[in-house]
Amino acid sequence: MPLAQFLDQIEVPTHGKGLYEVTGAIANWLEGLGVSEGLLTIFVQHTSASLTIQENADPDVVHDLNQFFNRLVEEDNRLYRHTVEGPDDMPAHIRAALTLAQLSVPVERGRMALGAWQGIYLFEHRAAPHRRRVKLHCVGE
């Protein structure tokens, strides 16, 4: 069977800082492709949001990650030159730089080869609501 490529986009509405699980939306898209084996690339088109693969069984993990990043990168305009977009903007860029804009996930038997407790999250680093664009690209057969 020849290799095929598929490209699409999902929008993730956020209501402020936090982790938003997108595993289900991505799995639904992948299921409709008919790809048995391949590689899925997930890419967020923003500099103040990121992607992560994290435990999706215990909500305390998401809570603790949010708390850690809030402590790690302070929202204090006295610390930054780039402040015109508000006190959360430069910290959001720093948080995004410390995490990932792109993930690669193998596809096996038509499904993402995630571990038992793994989920894919959009990590919103801004306080205000946004509509984040996430590109999906799958190459497979």
The confidence band for 2, taking pLDDT boundaries of 50, 70 and 90, is confident
How much is the pLDDT for 133? 98
28: left (phi over 0), alpha (psi -120 to 50) or beta: alpha
Domain 4-140, second-level architecture: Sandwich (2.60)
pLDDT at 1 over 80: no
Distance CA 100, CA 17 (A): 16
Query: 49 pairs with which residues across the strands?
Result: 124
pLDDT tens digits, one per residue of 34-93: 999 999 999 999 999 999 999 999 999 999 999 999 999 999 999 999 999 999 999 999
Classify 57 as helix, strand or coil: coil
Q: Which of 33, 31, 45 is nearest to 7 (CA)?
A: 33
pLDDT, position 52: 98
Q: Strand pairing partners for 40?
A: 105, 138
Supply the pTM of this predicted model: 0.96
Q: Where are the domains of the chain?
A: 4-140
